[in-house]
Amino acid sequence: MWVKALFYFLYLYQALVPCSVPEQLPVNTIDRQQYLGKWYFKAAVSHREADIQKFKALDNLWFTMEEPVNATLLLTGHMRIGDDCINETWTYRIHPERDDMELEGRPTRRNLLWSGKWVNCPECIILQEIEPPLKETDSEDSLSRFMLYARQSDVDSKVVTAFLKNYACQNVLQSVQLSQEKEFCN
């Protein structure tokens, strides 16, 4: 009886106090220069464990974002897995008619940027990756995850907590945080 009452109370509360949503940063209109430089991966969330599974092997991860030519962003990731360092580079194209970035080699993937102010971190960004369903009959995207990046490696834990809590409100419950116990790779 009490469980049912609590469930209905929470349902009503969420209906009256809806979840907040972050502000999108349309890559075709923002000043991209302010987002260039170093970013540290802090956490990822998704509806499905499979969408964030690859991050669980990492101890730490940081990126440099460069714009070598106009409308092209180059991200170089420096990942630590155990005692090994792995570097990988991704190229993103920015199209004037689109608010997202196109990842080279994955034209169907949408890559959206969201403001970190949503998690009380103006020096953070949230990257969302979405891929359409594999089959036309599928109702669910084949990939949908949100990743939190900060300018500092030691961002306040309250930022990560706010990130996880805000997405939990939207029923995005699978998450991963990196331990950052070892030295960062170069």
Give the C-alpha separation, 101 to 54, whole Å. 22
Predicted pLDDT at 8: 46
CATH of the domain at 43: 2.40.128.20
Q: Is residue 150 part of a domain?
A: yes
Q: Is residue 37 part of a domain?
A: yes
Give the C-alpha separation, 150 to 127, whole Å. 11
Predicted pLDDT at 17: 61
Give the C-alpha separation, 122 to 126, whole Å. 11
Domain span at residue 75 reads: 21-177
66: β partners: 74
Sign of the Cα torsion 175, 52, 35, 60 reads positive
104: Cα within 13 Å, side-chain hemisphere: 10
Q: Is residue 184 part of a domain?
A: no
Q: Is residue 46 part of a domain?
A: yes
Nearest to 73 by CA among 45, 40, 39: 39
**Number of domains making up the chain:** 1
Q: Is residue 182 part of a domain?
A: no
What are φ and ψ of residue 111, in 5° steps?
-125, 105
Token digits for 147? 């990743």
Q: Is residue 42 part of a domain?
A: yes
Predicted pLDDT at 137: 81
Q: Is residue 154 part of a domain?
A: yes
Q: Is residue 7 part of a domain?
A: no
* Mean pLDDT, contiguous 10-residue spans, the chain (186 residues): 46 62 94 94 96 96 95 96 96 95 95 96 97 82 94 95 96 95 94
Token digits for 162? 């706010």
